[in-house]
């Protein structure tokens, strides 16, 4: 019996450490696998809305209802869907990726009606598709197609407190395709540099865009100063040397847990020209918008937006560009993962009959139709 016990002890002494090491290795592998699985996330949302435009069209032409010349709410008297949007993202150590795709009218508008590749094949509505590499905590490279860094509002409805969008968002960039580098310079201060294809395009003709951003955060204040410069085929007709420059300021201030303020101010200038008797159309503009969100109760927020927007005109035109003041009041009722959004909006324009009519602002009626009001009821489910 004593000899048996000693033999058993010897076996445990010899094989025990190996068994324990194997168990530890298994635990480490399982933990690493669990960490890898935990890094992958799949999320998304669906949205739909009803809109009724109160303002009558003075020309009474069928199919020419008045509406806001902004993105994502083209239905003027009835129901419509937005999109179903899926976002997949994963990070592991210093590398990661993001893929986002949408299906529906909102996704089509976000991709400017959809793209075709150079062979003419239709490309699905890719909202984002990029990879990241962070060689250090102070530097991150992003390569692919990603949402713009310019402006206050974004394509994704759950991230905006108003359901309808501003003019500055609608006529600013939606996304970029290229390479950017984000720098964390010091605590609370950062910068970004990037080079991109044409704005809102996966292809490049005729030239590049260059972007930069300075960011600062302190307390409840966050501010971003953005720059975008380049040559874009859709901005200027028949002149490959024409350029566009946009400077944009976005800032938010959280006064308390239930009160937030925001501002977006931007100016986009596009070089105009005369080439063989053809005047290039300008899509330049100047705008400013003020935002506030007030937490009324745990499940109800009130958001207010006021925007002034004026479009530029070609240099050869003596008339002023059209301008508009847009006021939006939005309720946000939260029920679990569902957000119900009642919204009232009034856009009042300059005297359209005496302004340049070849640009952005057009409510869809005659030159006498210089204001439009509506009620929107939207629903967003996030998952």
Predicted local distance difference test score (pLDDT) of residue 278: 40
Answer yes or no: are the C-beta atoms of 350 and 322 closer than 8 Å.
yes
Answer yes or no: are the C-beta atoms of 72 and 106 closer than 8 Å.
yes
The DSSP 8-state label assigned to residue 321 in this structure reads: B
Q: CA neighbours within 13 Å on the CB side: how many for 348?
A: 4
Contacts of 310 (CB under 8 A, 6+ apart): 285, 286, 287, 321, 322, 323, 324
Q: What is the mean pLDDT of residues 5-23?
A: 46
- Report the distance separating Cα 203 and Cα 120, nearest Å: 13
Answer yes or no: are the C-beta atoms of 296 and 259 closer than 8 Å.
no
Q: What is the pLDDT of residues 41-51, one digit of tens each?
A: 999 999 999 99
Token pair 């028949």 is at which residue?
238
Domain range summary for the chain, segments of one domain joined by +: 41-382
Range with the poorest average pLDDT among 30-34, 112-116, 326-330: 30-34
Which residues sit opposite 160 in a β-bridge? none
- Report the distance separating Cα 44 and Cα 4, nearest Å: 64
Answer yes or no: are the C-beta atoms of 342 and 376 closer than 8 Å.
yes
Predicted local distance difference test score (pLDDT) of residue 357: 78
Q: What is the mean pLDDT of residues 194-222?
A: 90
Predicted local distance difference test score (pLDDT) of residue 313: 82
Q: What is the mean pLDDT of residues 304-308?
A: 98
**In terms of DSSP H, where are the helices of 126-258?**
167-171
Predicted local distance difference test score (pLDDT) of residue 284: 86
Predicted local distance difference test score (pLDDT) of residue 356: 83
- Is residue 321 predicted with pLDDT exceeding 90? no
Copy the structure tokens of residue 256: 């308390």
- Is residue 88 predicted with pLDDT exceeding 90? yes
Which residues sit opposite 98 in a β-bridge? 89, 130
Angle at 165 between CA 164 and CA 168, to 5 degrees: 160
Copy the structure tokens of residue 221: 């204040």
Highest-scoring range by mean pLDDT, 78-87, 194-203, 360-369: 78-87
Which residues sit opposite 223 in a β-bridge? 216, 251
Q: What is the mean pLDDT of residues 225-246?
A: 74
**Cα 166 versus chain centre, distance:** 12
Token pair 């395009």 is at which residue?
201
Q: In the structure, what pLDDT confidence band is assigned to residue 200 with cuts at 50, 70 and 90?
A: confident
**Cα 75 versus chain centre, distance:** 21
**Cα 176 versus chain centre, distance:** 11
Range with the poorest average pLDDT among 7-21, 41-55, 158-172: 7-21
Q: In the structure, what pLDDT confidence band is assigned to residue 309 with cuts at 50, 70 and 90?
A: very high
- Is residue 24 predicted with pLDDT exceeding 70? no
User: Per CATH, the architecture of 41-382 is what?
Assistant: Beta Barrel (2.40)
Q: In the structure, what pLDDT confidence band is assigned to residue 276 with cuts at 50, 70 and 90?
A: very low
- Is residue 351 predicted with pLDDT exceeding 70? yes
Q: What is the pLDDT of residues 239-248, one digit of tens each?
A: 555 688 999 9
Copy the structure tokens of residue 81: 């869907």
Mean of the per-residue pLDDT values for the chain? 84
Q: What is the pLDDT of residues 99-116, one digit of tens each?
A: 999 999 999 888 865 555
Q: How far apart are the first and last CA of the chain?
A: 65
Predicted local distance difference test score (pLDDT) of residue 104: 92
Range with the poorest average pLDDT among 2-11, 102-111, 126-135: 2-11
Longest dimension (CA), the chain: 112
Q: CA neighbours within 13 Å on the CB side: how many for 114?
A: 11
Q: Taking Cα atoms as reference points, which of 110, 56, 59 lies closest to residue 83?
A: 110
What is the DSSP pairing of strand 189-196 with strand 221-232? unpaired
Q: In the structure, what pLDDT confidence band is assigned to residue 355 with cuts at 50, 70 and 90?
A: confident
């Amino acid at each position: 019996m004593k000899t048996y016990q000693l033999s058993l002890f010897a076996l445990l002494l010899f094989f025990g450490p190996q068994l324990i090491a194997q168990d530890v290795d298994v635990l480490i592998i399982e933990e690493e696998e669990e960490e890898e699985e935990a890094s992958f996330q799949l999320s998304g949302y669906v949205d739909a809305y009803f809109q009724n435009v109160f303002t009558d069209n003075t020309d009474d032409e069928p199919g020419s209802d008045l509406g806001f010349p902004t993105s994502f709410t083209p239905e003027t008297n009835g129901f419509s869907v937005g999109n179903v949007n899926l976002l997949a993202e994963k990070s592991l150590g210093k590398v990661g990726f993001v893929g986002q795709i949408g299906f529906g009218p909102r996704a089509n508008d976000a991709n400017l009606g959809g793209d075709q590749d150079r062979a003419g094949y239709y490309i699905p509505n890719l909202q984002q598709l990029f990879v990241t590499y962070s060689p250090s905590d102070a530097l991150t490279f992003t390569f692919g197609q990603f949402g713009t860094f310019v402006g206050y509002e974004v394509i994704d409805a759950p991230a905006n407190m108003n359901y309808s969008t501003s003019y500055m968002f609608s006529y600013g960039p939606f996304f970029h395709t290229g390479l950017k580098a984000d720098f964390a310079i010091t605590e609370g201060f950062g910068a970004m540099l990037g080079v991109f294809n044409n704005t809102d395009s996966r292809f490049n003709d005729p030239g590049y865009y260059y972007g930069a951003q300075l960011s600062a955060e302190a307390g409840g204040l966050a501010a971003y100063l953005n720059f975008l410069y380049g040559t874009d085929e859709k901005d200027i007709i028949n002149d490959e040397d024409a350029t566009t420059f946009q400077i944009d300021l976005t800032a938010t201030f959280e006064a308390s847990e239930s009160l937030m303020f925001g501002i977006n101010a931007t100016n986009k200038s596009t070089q105009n020209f005369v080439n063989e008797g053809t005047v290039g159309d300008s899509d330049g503009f100047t705008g400013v918008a003020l935002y506030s969100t007030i937490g009324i109760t745990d499940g109800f927020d009130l958001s207010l937006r006021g925007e002034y927007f004026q479009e530029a005109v070609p240099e050869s035109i003596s008339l002023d560009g059209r301008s508009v003041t847009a006021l939006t009041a939005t309720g946000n009722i939260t029920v679990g993962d569902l957000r119900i959004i009642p919204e009232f909006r009034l856009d009042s324009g300059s005297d359209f009959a005496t302004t340049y009519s070849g640009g952005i602002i057009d409510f869809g009626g005659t030159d006498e139709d210089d204001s439009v009001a509506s009620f929107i009821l939207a629903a967003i489910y996030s998952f």
